[in-house]
Amino acid sequence: MRLTKLQQKSFKKNGYLVIKNIFTKSDCRKISTLVKKNQNKLIISELDKDHPFSKIRNNSKVSVLNKINEKKLYKISNIDKILDIGSKLREKEMKKWFVKFYLKNAFDGDNEFYHQDFAYHKDKKAKNSDYLQCFVAFEDHKLGSGCLRVFKGSHKIGLIKHYLVMTRNGLSKLTPSSKELISLSKRCELVNLELKAGSCVFFDYKLLHGSSSNASENSQLRMVYQMISLNSKRDERKNRQVWLKRNKQEIDILKKIINYKSKFGGKKIN
């Protein structure tokens, strides 16, 4: 696909670029059916359910396709066409690094804390410009159902301080303080990306973004297609260290909660 000079300029200036109709409506329907039909077989972990601590036999929140379903996906459409645009935007050869689907289920889908993706990767040796994300809507995304929201131009403000917060899933996320976000919202316009099914947005790993929970009757399936430059210096050993550290921090937070609860309930638990 050809990118115009204006599109390249707009990506550099704003930190994101929307491309409409990269997938046909018919492919979107087929891909949604494939992901939703297989979601319970494709769960990454129990914690990736909408309510992992409940007896509700609920939906998964995140799905990664296994080999068989990935083949089925590529029969529907070649999602790697995203790479061509990604390489043009980054002006270097990019490769697919990780693909996952967030189901953002009706009445259940969680919010995504505002964050810069690079906050998760800063200690892994690769540069911010080695990464790129493409976010694809396979259903119509509306503000009322928790569409993606981005702080326009925020990729230029550097890496903001992020704090670890615990989600209702028992998984931690990184996010700046709300005080910081309020201050940034005065400098960078907060844009609602109400994408139509089949449209996508490419964005810089330092672009601040997030979304509200989905309290509506409409699901908002999205695919997150992450790219990395062919020659990046990303260090897998560092990556493992970062994950282990975060896991330990999560366990410490959960222990604190259990201690607090047991004191509150007058019960001693070891």
Ligand X SMILES: O=C(O)CCC(=O)C(=O)O
Q: Which residues bind ligand X (CB under 6 A)?
A: 102, 112, 117, 148, 209, 211, 222, 224
- CA-CA distances (angstroms) from residue 15 to 188, 191, 263? 11, 12, 47
User: What is the DSSP annotation of 169-233?
Assistant: TS-EEEE--HHHHHHHHHHS-EEEE-PPTT-EEEE-TTS-EEE----SSS---EEEEEEEETT--
CB of 39 to ligand X, least distance (A): 15
> What's the DSSP call for residue 235?
-
d(C-alpha 235, C-alpha 237), whole Å: 6
Query: CB of 136 within 8 A of CB of 226?
Result: no
Nearer to ligand X, 27 or 112 (CB): 112
Return the number of other C-beta atoms located less than 10 Å from residue 63's C-beta.
26
Please state the separation of Cα 105 from the chain's center in Å: 15
Nearer to ligand X, 79 or 148 (CB): 148
Token output for 228: 């990395």
Token output for 131: 């990464």
CB of 29 to ligand X, least distance (A): 20
User: What is the DSSP annotation of 44-103?
Assistant: S-GGGBSSTTSSS---BSEE---HHHHHHHHHH--TTHHHHHHHHHHTS-EEEEEEEEE-
CB of 120 to ligand X, least distance (A): 8
Nearer to ligand X, 11 or 102 (CB): 102
CB of 171 to ligand X, least distance (A): 13
Nearer to ligand X, 2 or 161 (CB): 161
CB of 78 to ligand X, least distance (A): 21
Query: CB of 164 within 8 A of CB of 172?
Result: yes
Nearer to ligand X, 191 or 224 (CB): 224
CB of 136 to ligand X, least distance (A): 11
Tell me the sheet residues that pair with 150.
191, 209
Q: Which residue's Cβ lies closest to ligand X?
A: 211
Nearer to ligand X, 143 or 224 (CB): 224
Nearer to ligand X, 163 or 258 (CB): 163
CB of 109 to ligand X, least distance (A): 8
Query: CB of 42 within 8 A of CB of 63?
Result: yes
